[in-house]
Amino acid sequence: MSDWTPTRAAGLERMQAFVPGMGRAYAVGRNTDPGPGGAYAVSRLSPWVRRRLVGEDELARAALEAHGPRAAEKFVQEVIWRTYWKGWLELRPQVWDRYLVTRDQARAAAARDPALARDPALARDLAAAEAGTTGIDAFDAWARELAETGWLHNHARMWFASIWVFTLRLPWALGADLFLRRLMDGDPASNTLSWRWVAGLQTVGKTYLATADNIARYTDGRFRPQGLARSAEPLVEAEPVGPTRPLPPAARETPAGPHLLLVTPEDLTPEHLIGPWEIAGVALVAGPDAATEGPARTFLDGALADAGARAGARYGAEPVRLTMLDGAALSARARAVGAIGVVTPAAPVGPMATALAAAREELATEGLALVEVRRDWDAALWPLATKGFFPFKEKAPQVLVGLGLPV
Ligand SMILES: Cc1cc2nc3c(=O)[nH]c(=O)nc-3n(C[C@H](O)[C@H](O)[C@H](O)COP(=O)(O)OP(=O)(O)OC[C@H]3O[C@@H](n4cnc5c(N)ncnc54)[C@H](O)[C@@H]3O)c2cc1C
């Protein structure tokens, strides 16, 4: 079994242990899913990366220093897939809003209470898929692995999403919702856009079809599911995605004067980001966050406590956990520690950014500013996500050089 200790120290230790695997062995083995307890060629670092207990810059640097740009190319490319998805959604927040509408419509149709469900057959099929009782052995095993461990291999995620959409014919947004609730690395950008990609919405017209042969090959023969869809007609969106917006403004350093540091699950290494500024107090908040179930919730709670302890020690302040993320709670806490404003790592598009935008307005009425600070990595790379991944990947090395990485 894997050790999912939700601390920065454990994440860095796992990263160090995986450094030898970041070179050619990764490129050769990354598509194979050996299953729980097997010998993985991937790092399984995503829960730490998602919460920024370990940074993308730290991963890329470790790979490049150990293996050089050629041998580390595949690993670094996967790391920057994450960066690309984050940037892509940040420039197109309407895609997140549209996902929420689609999800809520599908949720209403599939409501568990038969008196409420508009589509009882959908409600029944959804329950079977979530519980892993569809009768498709591989799919059911992944559904149970997800519930029990909070993690799935990338290839299993692709097969699972493909079977969900094209064989079980379930709404893609409910599958994305399930992942977001149950994955320890559940992320609005990587998750929503990967589901869209499988369904043919992201690269318009291009879908991902899971086949029995491919599954058998890359699960070392553990599964060869029968009865899978033989074709994958792309889903179609009523409206095109629409134009990009510029990257929203954010600070690169904390302003002068005493501030309350707000630690959110969007970045759990804030002391590393914000530097030696005047932090008068530390507040932690877990919600709103999608990780609401099982191991995902346990990982998030532990990671938040770890970040609070580190930030508290760094700034000599006892961290206080807020139950609500709203302007009233924040301004009360800021006033209690004599702060003139609240500073927090910039939250990318998702539930936390929406909640912070509302809190910002409430704080302003109290004369308190909310300052969001963006990491250099994000500020440099996200604006490049204007088109597809391949133009992004072409431009990335120059930026990595500028960030001091040995590319
Ligand atoms: C349908 C679907 C849903 C997904 N949902 C999420 C999600 O909610 N959160 C999430 O972090 N990833 C998601 N992914 C991407 C990917 O599956 C995971 O990031 C990866 O499996 C994590 O395993 P690892 O840490 O061993 O990755 P490694 O292969 O060791 O890669 C190192 C790091 O690079 C990043 N990375 C690797 N592959 C990808 C990828 N294809 N896309 C984006 N980033 C990548 C991750 O941060 C990962 O920790 C999803 C993929 C699919 C197909």
Residue nearest to atom 32 of ligand 1 (CA): 79
- Confidence at residue 254, expressed as pLDDT on a 0 to 100 scale: 75
**So what CATH class is 8-89+383-402?**
mainly alpha
With beta carbons less than 8 A apart as the criterion, state whether 90 and 349 touch.
yes
| Distance in angstroms (rounded) separating the CA atoms of residues 85 and 78 | 11
Give the list of residues 6+ apart from residue 17 with CB closer than 8 angstroms, or none: none
| Distance in angstroms (rounded) separating the CA atoms of residues 304 and 96 | 25
Interval between CA 82 and ligand 1 midpoint (Å): 7
* Residue pLDDT tens, the chain, 407 long: 479 999 999 999 999 999 999 999 999 999 999 999 999 999 999 999 999 999 999 999 999 999 999 999 999 999 999 999 999 999 999 999 999 999 999 999 998 776 777 898 999 999 999 999 999 999 999 999 999 999 999 999 999 999 999 999 999 999 999 999 999 999 999 999 999 999 999 999 999 999 999 999 999 999 999 999 999 999 999 888 999 999 999 988 777 899 999 999 999 999 877 767 799 999 999 988 777 899 999 999 999 999 999 999 999 999 999 988 989 999 999 999 999 999 999 999 999 999 999 999 999 999 999 999 999 999 999 999 999 999 999 999 999 999 999 99
48, 185, 187, 292: residue to mutate for ligand 1 pocket, most atoms within 8 A of CB:
185
What's the token pair of residue 136? 């498709």
| Distance in angstroms (rounded) separating the CA atoms of residues 167 and 184 | 26
| Distance in angstroms (rounded) separating the CA atoms of residues 200 and 231 | 12
* Pocket flag, ligand 1, residue 346 (CB < 6 Å): no
Q: What is the pLDDT of residues 166-182, one digit of tens each?
A: 999 999 999 999 999 99
With beta carbons less than 8 A apart as the criterion, state whether 400 and 60 touch.
yes
**So what CATH class is 259-373?**
alpha beta
Residue nearest to atom 48 of ligand 1 (CA): 46
190, 289, 292, 293: residue to mutate for ligand 1 pocket, most atoms within 8 A of CB:
190
Terminal CA-CA length for the chain: 35
DSSP 307-322: HHHHHHHHHT---EEE
CATH number of 94-218: 1.10.579.10
Domain boundaries, the chain: 8-89+383-402, 94-218, 259-373
